[in-house]
Structure 1
């Protein structure tokens, strides 16, 4: 579970962002700017990240605030799951990333698989929709929904991408160090449960 200070900072930021979008009164706009500054101050105090950097990452969006969407592809070869090594931290994750505007969730996960693994894939069943704050991820300034899709390889061959350095298949008892920013051990192991029991209901928070 994420700390309360982060939950409060996110809520203040969301309120300020909506207020700045819809308010017309100059005094209200000033107050909402003050709320945005307060949310930045809270996160800065607890993380040490500079306020300008936080403004770009955390408080730079406009319009009504909504959760971000992260998509992950779940591909098995026999009893081994496809993972990629992330260049950023050297650890492994299910292929995926932020969903791009203009593409459906399935189109996004197929694109991410192609870019990160070299494989052409087809997306099938939605296995899980998880709220990142309920899982053992590092704290994040964003509110994130994570979507996991069962996918099948249709062509291509293994090849690292711009954000990945290796591609490999791993058994449940031989998982490499995982990139917990992107996926936890519990999440990856649950995907093996779906492999063994295909009619399990979708996993949601």
Structure 2
């Protein structure tokens, strides 16, 4: 794909996301029957546009959008970085693509981001940890993760420290292991990028560094 094609795809995705958000948000605040029809049509147009640059069909995308109720806001994805005394980082091998990533996942309703990352690390690695620092809050699309999603995602990265001894054991994952940041395995880049692991290591070495956001 050429740079021009990538730029056009990015513009279409941005316009589609905005149209879907306008339509969904309008439906939250209006009771007028004609306005509701307009907002439903706006949402439908956005879904059709998104299908032009996504793997999913308009029907599949509509099903995803239909799950979202209320005012449209970004989804929150949390990732936890745990280091051992030698600076090796804990990674888990995800079952979906058999590649490695920082443990993490979606924030569930009723949970704080800090609670969610503690839960995810324990579920995916077997380690009991506590979150010690929010290192970064980053936009998934701006970071360059692939594939693109038909909804907006903010990724929150936390430093975590182990509070219970014990060998990591996979619970929801294929494998769990420690890696030098200079010898990382093949990463699941839809979830974690090498630059993000480097950022976590920088903050582990220098906790006084400020939180990063975009």
TM-score after normalising by structure 1: 0.94
1:202: which partner in 2? 211
Aligned counterparts, 1:58-137, within 5 A: 58-77=65-84, 78-137=86-145
Q: Is the 8 A contact 1:13 1:59 kept in 2?
A: no
Q: Is the 8 A contact 2:17 2:50 kept in 1?
A: no
Q: Is the 8 A contact 1:40 1:59 kept in 2?
A: no
> Separation in 2 of the partners of 1:152 and 1:174?
22
Provide structure 2 residue ranges, at least 5 long, that are not aligned to the other structure. 1-6
> Separation in 2 of the partners of 1:193 and 1:24?
51
Q: SS of the counterpart of 1:174?
A: coil
Deviation at 1:86, TM superposition (A): 0.7
**Using a 3 Å threshold, how does the CA distance of structure 1 residues 64 and 124 change in structure 2: closer, same or farther?**
same
Q: SS of the counterpart of 1:167?
A: strand
Q: SS of the counterpart of 2:62?
A: helix
- What RMSD, in angstroms, separates the aligned Cα atoms of the two structures? 1.5
Q: How many matched pairs?
A: 204
> Separation in 2 of the partners of 1:9 and 1:192?
36
TM-score after normalising by structure 2: 0.91
Q: Is the 8 A contact 2:88 2:181 kept in 1?
A: yes
- Structure having the larger proportion of residues in strand: 1
